[in-house]
Amino acid sequence: MPTAEWIFEHIAPGWLWAAAFLTALVFVAFWAWRFLPRNAASLVIAGTRFAFLLTLFWILLLPGKKHSLTEIVKPRFLVLLDTSASMTQTADDTPAYTNRWEAARAMLGSDGVKRIASRCLVEVYPFQSDLGTPLSLEQAASLKPDGRASHLHLSLARLFERLRGQTVAGVMMLTDGLDTREKNDLWASGSWKAPLYAVRLEKPGTREERPDMRVENVDTPHRAIVGWDTQMTVTISGQGGKGEPFPVVLLKNGKEVEKVAVQLPPEGGSRDVQFKLTHPAVAAESYLVRIPVLPDEVQTNDNEMVAAVDVLDAKNRVLFLEDVPRFESKHFSRALFANKDITPLAFFQMPDRMTGAKQWIAYGDRQGGSFDLTPEQLRLNKIMILGDFDGDALTPDHCQAVLEFVEKGGSLILLGGQKLWGENGIAKTALSKLLPFTRAGGPALEGRFAVEWTAEGRAHPALAQNKEMPQELPPVLSVFAGVKLSGGAFALANARTEQGEAPILVSRNYGQGKVLAVLTDSLWRWQMQPGQGKEKPYPKFWRQIIQWMSPSETEMDRYFLELFTDAGTIAVGDPAVLQARLALPPGEKRKARRVACNVTTPSDRVIPLSMEGRLVRAAGGEEIPSYVVEFTPEEPGTFKAVAEVEIDGRKIQSSPCLFTVRATSQELVLKPLNEAVLRELARSSGGRYGDPSEIDRVLEELEVEERRERKLEYRSLWHSPVLLVLLITFLTVEWILRKSRNMP
């Protein structure tokens, strides 16, 4: 029920306003009785004067009216509707409907949806390559499944991001579970903020199929160390092969290096194939995975995929500086020296037994050595790891040497603890310039905190190439919370605390180098994670980080142009967005430059493109200067793009960016619905997966809670044009009457 309350906002006491009003009325009454003649005109003049005073005092009281209204707010129930072209297909021999789209439309008009619509606010969110705007059930009936891509994971994440803080009773998913963007299905086991009710829009197909084999994904580190072997994992999928083996060929720089026989189940499926890659010399290597066309195979445009690997030199020197050893530094040192891809050197500050003064003591192969933190010594290394120090342990010269080292392309890892992240830590030194966050200092939160990757962390080059990294990470026992990310910085992993999510792994670029900050001193607990003969998360994580942060010798002290694309595999007619980043030497101001991009097509035709300077918003909020161009391929095959800029008469080129273009989008390839993804989404969210009739019954029985909200509405009763017109009218009428009667 709405209620109203009068409010007067005048500052002076009410009795004073009443006394002033009565005094004015008495004065006007006396003036009218004493000086005005006794006639009708005088009565009107006195009345207008009284009305003017009454209106004026009403305005001076500043009156208002506050309405209080209690509303019943219905929870939201959402429908995520797939409008991509794959919804027009079916792999069911005897479907209840013509295709998946017809089954989805029938579900929109089911009894369960009608019942839930009477108790909830139902909105339909269509999606294909991105999440669309919400529609009503009636508006959704006019949609058509014509999308060229299915980005299910992206759309689902953006759906919950839009509705953050709102009450959602559940989400019904009308999709085939296929995602043309994701490399695998591991994302489905994430954390979802509402139950997901996934509808099985068709039964598994049983029709006799023609053979169709395809390369779904090529997963390999894009950076390797010369002389060391790496592994390439290739996901092969298909159906119609009747369980017979078929060849998969690996080519390196156009030459065949290995061939294996692959066998899929008769009903179809997928399997991973591993290749061992050797890297004998520093080079940019190009690999092609190909499945020769099988007899009667029609869909052949997806039988191959390319990957590029940059092979770096073997002299990756890593320097680790630490104060008195602690649990974190002990476990880290072991992981560092177990990494055969680097040449590590660790120094600890140990007190002298005689004088008590701290001195550098080497750990490992050069025990007993000495060290001075000078620019000359730092230049011999590619990565520097700074442990747990008080701020006064680093002199201004030390800080300047580290700053120059990172600015010129070196990498810095801050493996801090109570000292480094405390009130008298690194934030009090000149090294605060390169920190990827700001923090007031203070002790760490202690407890048992769950850790999870962020979206940036899962897609980060240091981690995305290692699918064996666990999705659920071991907990940590400490978190240095209260940080605010700097511009251009992003978190790789967060810890869940009582105060909310707190970053524990934060990265950013500084100059031409990279900085990684570890905001916990209990990351070593990842080493305690039990395993069944597999490598533990701790050394696996640090090996990937070290590899990503290792620059090549030619990246130091020079300009660096990097080119990359938004997708590794696209279809003919789909745009590919090419983006370049130009790293400048420290101290040089950025200015407008002409960046060109030459795209070489599979038919060896070179297409020159001009890249446009644009600010790209990074995860930390900072707008990063970049160069962007959009290219739409017109033929299938492998494309190579190279960016180029001329600086002071010298041409700077990027490493080749390779991407595969297929004749048709994978969206149009006939595939059965992905039951594994739909089941996992329902399980991990606490929802249900089942046939339309089963989900319909679940929706009819779904219990929802209405919420009451109290809303306040204030309306001013003095700030009105009507009152101003009345004041002017009263004065005008009085003036006209007085002049018409020749009254003063």
- Segment 125-158, tens digit of pLDDT: 999 888 999 999 999 989 999 888 888 988 998 8
Highest averaged pLDDT of the listed ranges 284-298, 328-342, 729-743: 284-298
Helices (H), 217-295: none
**Residues near 181 by beta carbon (within 8 Å), at least 6 away in sequence:** 149, 150, 151, 153, 154, 567
When pLDDT is cut at 50, 70 and 90, the band that residue 368 belongs to is very low
Range of lowest pLDDT (108-112, 381-385, 663-667, 736-740): 663-667
The candidate with the shortest Cα–Cα distance to 172, out of 692, 706, 684, is 692
Residue 651 neighbours by CB distance under 10 Å: 10
Helix (H) or strand (E) holding 66: strand 63-73
E strands present in 94-219: 121-127, 168-174, 196-199, 212-219
When pLDDT is cut at 50, 70 and 90, the band that residue 701 belongs to is confident
The candidate with the shortest Cα–Cα distance to 148, out of 215, 82, 202, is 82
The predicted pLDDT at position 579 comes to: 86
User: Which three-class secondary structure state does DSSP give residue 38?
Assistant: coil
Q: What would the pLDDT profile of 249-305 be if each residue is shown by its tens digit?
A: 999 988 999 999 998 887 777 888 989 888 887 777 889 999 998 887 877 777 888
Give mean pLDDT, residues 563-585: 75
CA separation for the pair 223, 610 (Å, rounded): 28
pLDDT of 618 strictly over 60:
no
Give mean pLDDT, residues 340-354: 73
The predicted pLDDT at position 365 comes to: 40
Give mean pLDDT, residues 333-342: 78
Range of lowest pLDDT (635-639, 685-689, 739-743): 739-743
Helix (H) or strand (E) holding 22: helix 14-35
What is the percentage of the chain residues whose pLDDT exceeds 70?
A: 85
Helix (H) or strand (E) holding 544: helix 537-548
The mean predicted confidence, pLDDT, of the chain is 81
Phi-psi region of 165 (alpha: psi -120 to 50; beta: other; left: phi over 0): left
The predicted pLDDT at position 556 comes to: 41
pLDDT of 724 strictly over 60:
yes
- Burial call 432-471: b when 16+ CB within 10 Å, e when fewer: eebbbbebeeeebbeeebebbbbebbbebebbbbeeebbe
Q: What would the pLDDT profile of 180-227 be if each residue is shown by its tens digit?
A: 777 677 788 878 889 999 999 987 654 556 788 888 888 777 666 666
Domains, the chain, ordered by start: 3-70+712-740 (no CATH), 75-205+672-705 (3.40.50.410), 212-312 (2.60.40.10), 317-551 (3.40.50.880), 559-667 (2.60.40.1930)
* Residue located via tokens 């209080």: 68
**The two structure tokens encoding residue 442:** 């203070």
**The two structure tokens encoding residue 37:** 């003649």
pLDDT of 545 strictly over 60:
yes
Beta strands 437-438 and 484-485 are antiparallel
The candidate with the shortest Cα–Cα distance to 177, out of 289, 265, 82, is 82
In a 13 Å sphere around the CA of 414, the CA atoms on its Cβ side amount to 32
Give mean pLDDT, residues 513-541: 78
CA separation for the pair 513, 433 (Å, rounded): 13
Give mean pLDDT, residues 361-378: 58
Q: What amino acid occupies position 251?
A: L
* Residue 115 DSSP symbol: H
**The two structure tokens encoding residue 246:** 């078929």
Residue 688 neighbours by CB distance under 10 Å: 21
Report yes or no on whether pTM surpasses 0.75.
Answer: no
The predicted pLDDT at position 208 comes to: 52
